[in-house]
Structure 1
């Protein structure tokens, strides 16, 4: 009824999947009636759904051909995988949970797949550690896409006989529980590599009306309970797609790489810790590098903390890092570290203070100038006052005394 081709999208330069349908009885108004639903299907966006890019109808040599353009998945399908043998339960649980979640997503939008089967589950290769592939549900909504045509006439059946729900087999109205039932049969076949309802289309359809699918005890009580809930005869008794997703996710082994990543142990209070500068991370190989000198943050200085002049870069051998200095008692002056070439006095020895040599002549001249300035100031301020008595100066020996005597005589004639 349909053929899928690998095709090239020349406009966007990508590989796509092109599915062609033969619809000889489709009328000319079919594409117009389908356009609204095509837009809905194109709006679906879920990691477990194959994305629909485009849809339409073409007339070729008098034959009406409807087509859809979909995302191309470079992998096999679940039918090919089951033909190789049963799938591991952990992988089936992951796959089933993803597909059930996708069903919940589309059911919330009022869309029903109606043709869930292994051939419509594509397996995209996975690079995630411990996981072989990611399941993607393909051809989603094809039944609804052609709902306006003859495919949904009263009493007609749309779907694959081996995976029809009981209500589908009876030609009754269907809803989301129908997709859950079909998914349950697909998962059961994945675990056992055996189809639950084999035979011709009529035999397969009638068998599900007479008996429930057989659930091998080897699957375990949890698997049997989930599958029984998904394949209950009455739609109202089945698990919802959301419940099925939760139950299937619980069947993924606790130690699965996909379900939980190795966690790095944290401290009891999960607080953020400040590591020392240059500290290597846990389990990291040591780096063969020269040690680095770390600069520590110093608190704001207080009034009783003296300022110290630290050595220059040339004295790196005397200091490794900048440190806070706590004085035992307040200091009244700035302490200075001696430069590299200076001699350092031994402990307990008072350093000898070098006395500067000052000449006597500049000192004498300075004293004389000062005295002259004072006398001139007094004379100018009080010119009319009687001359004061000559002051008596102490006797000074040497040149200084001689000059003082001459100065006194010059101002006191």
Structure 2
């Protein structure tokens, strides 16, 4: 059926087909106007003659599939239905209209895209694939014509990419809709397992995306020629990746186009690597989390290497601060006890111990160990190198104690120096005989002390 004959038709009394955008094997895409909302949309009108007899099932499957998806790098589905055009029933879907060209047109116009633009676009598409793969869906037809490029409007970025056409996508666990031996997809971008008619999974989309990114960077298809030539070529050789692209691109594209699906990265891994390439142009791996202790050891090693000092290979244990001296209990001073001696004390025995103890008390208090934190880094200094000044209150108290002790010493010294007066011998009276002498002797004895 001639696709241009549908132009001007109004679908569901709402969507007017204005111009033909493109035609594929199963449908034609039109720019259309949504009369109800006054906006431009894209209408995909399916053919009514299916090649393998599974057209209606595939069409309804695509409608339900698109309606369930919501991602910034996927074309959004607005509406769907069935209408009659020129006497024949036609299924259609109404989608978001992307104002721009497709990637195939951009590559053909040349020159090759900038690597940073390719990395950002590839990261968007890889994130979209991660999203659909997580829902058990594979696209199976990743190619430049199915990548729509819209204006970015963001400084430093000229475009953003959206993945379109899930017309031949299928659920991973669903029975195949294609007839035996029928290949769905574009020959130049088929994965090896698609070319061999094998079992498909999410890695097949990563292979096709790798070929698309390589073509964006070089401007040439990796496997040109007819469908048979292109399909056979990928079974015989790996795609040629120019060394001029750099090691980052070379490693990523080599992994994505590996013949063994198990060796290909996941869509999430590819997205992370492409984001790194878009930022640095060189990174291929996401930096591992940094171990703080390892980083500190490495830093010490670097400093040691610069200064010529051998590394200790480990961080020193943190210094623990002692409690401040003000918080510690005051020391108890014990004065020496002088035992009682019956013998008269001398000045030296009384004054020397008391004065020595009184003088030694303030000195002992001032010499007590005091923890002084180092303001530069928490290191404790020796008490001998940092003497602590005595508080004013302690100085006054010590002075009073010294004065009292010295006064007591002087009093003791005065008492000790007093001499004992000798007792005078009794008077010697002359002897008197008789009764008178006896009476005089008795009188003398009574007055003697």
TM over 0.5, shorter chain: yes
Report whether the alignment pairs 1:119 with 2:145.
yes
TM-score of the pair, normalised by structure 2: 0.53
Q: Say whether the 8 Å CA contact 1:167–1:178 is kept in structure 2.
A: yes
Show CA shifts across 1:159-218 (max 9, x none): 111111111111122111111100000000000001000001111111111111111111
Show CA shifts across 1:108-158 (max 9, x none): 01111111111111111011110000011111354339x999961122110
Q: Compared with structure 1, are the counterparts of its residues 170 and 247 closer, same or farther at alpha carbon in structure 2 (3 Å cutoff)?
A: same
CA–CA distance in 2 between the matches of 1:110 and 1:217? 36
- Give 1:19's aligned residue: 44
Q: Compared with structure 1, are the counterparts of its residues 184 and 18 closer, same or farther at alpha carbon in structure 2 (3 Å cutoff)?
A: same
- Give 1:68's aligned residue: 93
Q: Compared with structure 1, are the counterparts of its residues 218 and 30 closer, same or farther at alpha carbon in structure 2 (3 Å cutoff)?
A: closer
TM-score of the pair, normalised by structure 1: 0.57
Larger RCO: 1 or 2 (CA < 8 Å, sep 6+): 1
| Equivalent in 215, 237, 245 of residue 189 of structure 1 | 215
May I ask how many residue pairs the two structures share in their alignment?
A: 255
CA–CA distance in 1 between the matches of 2:37 and 2:81? 18
Report whether the alignment pairs 1:50 with 2:75.
yes
Q: Compared with structure 1, are the counterparts of its residues 63 and 175 closer, same or farther at alpha carbon in structure 2 (3 Å cutoff)?
A: farther
- Give 2:278's aligned residue: 252
Instruction: Indicate the structure (1 or 2) with the bigger Cα radius of gyration.
Output: 2
CA–CA distance in 2 between the matches of 1:54 and 1:205? 36
More helix by share: 2
Task: Output aligned runs, 1:210-225, within 5 Å.
Answer: 210-225=236-251
Q: Compared with structure 1, are the counterparts of its residues 131 and 27 closer, same or farther at alpha carbon in structure 2 (3 Å cutoff)?
A: closer
Q: Say whether the 8 Å CA contact 2:125–2:162 is kept in structure 1.
A: yes
Q: Compared with structure 1, are the counterparts of its residues 174 and 12 closer, same or farther at alpha carbon in structure 2 (3 Å cutoff)?
A: same
Q: Give 1:56 shift.
A: 4.1
In the alignment, structure 2 segments of 5+ residues that lack a partner are 1-24, 282-449
Q: Give 1:254 shift.
A: 3.9
The CA RMSD over aligned residues, in Å, is 2.8
Show CA shifts across 1:347-390 (max 9, x none): xxxxxxxxxxxxxxxxxxxxxxxxxxxxxxxxxxxxxxxxxxxx
Report whether the alignment pairs 1:173 with 2:229.
no
In the alignment, structure 1 segments of 5+ residues that lack a partner are 256-413
Q: Compared with structure 1, are the counterparts of its residues 237 and 254 closer, same or farther at alpha carbon in structure 2 (3 Å cutoff)?
A: closer
CA–CA distance in 2 between the matches of 1:80 and 1:226? 25
- Give 1:381's aligned residue: none
